[in-house]
Amino acid sequence: MNAHKLYKTAWEHWGEQAQLIVFMEELMELGHEIARRLRGNDNEAALEEEMADVTIMMDQYAAVYPASAARVWAKVRDKRARLAGRLEVDNDD
């Protein structure tokens, strides 16, 4: 099963509310690991794990709500362009 179908299946199996709660939990776990890093912990593996979890949840949301995902990516492009402008560098997008 490809990732897109897998993510849609998970969303349908557990339902929107449960998956949004998991999404929120994964974001909080990532925030916790970032805070640990700022306190001097060598937790690169834990950060990578939580980043992977958040990425999966973002991809799940995009699989279920493609129109919303398209709007998010448009905002990402705009924000990258703004960042490039602030840094006075070329934006390859």
Query: Which DSSP string corresponds to 23-56?
Result: HHHHHHHHHHHHHHHHTT---HHHHHHHHHHHHH
Gyration radius of the chain's alpha carbons = 16
As a whole number of angstroms, the distance between CA 61 and CA 56 comes to: 9
Instruction: Pull the structure tokens for residue 37.
Output: 């890093």
Residue 27 lies in a domain: yes
Instruction: Give the tokens for residue 21.
Output: 């709660």
Instruction: pLDDT band for 92, please (50, 70, 90 cuts).
Output: confident
pLDDT beyond 70 at 86: yes
Contact 64, 11 (CB under 8 A): yes
Report pLDDT for 93. Answer: 67
Domain presence at residue 74: no
pTM: 0.88
The answer to the question of residue 50 being in a domain is yes
Q: What is the pLDDT of residues 8-62, one digit of tens each?
A: 999 999 999 999 999 999 999 999 999 999 999 999 999 999 999 999 999 999 9
Confidence of residue 91 (pLDDT cuts 50, 70, 90): confident
14 lies in some domain: yes
52 in any annotated domain: yes
Residue range(s) defining the domain that contains residue 33: 3-65
Does some domain include residue 72?
no
The chain-wide mean pLDDT, for the chain, equals 95
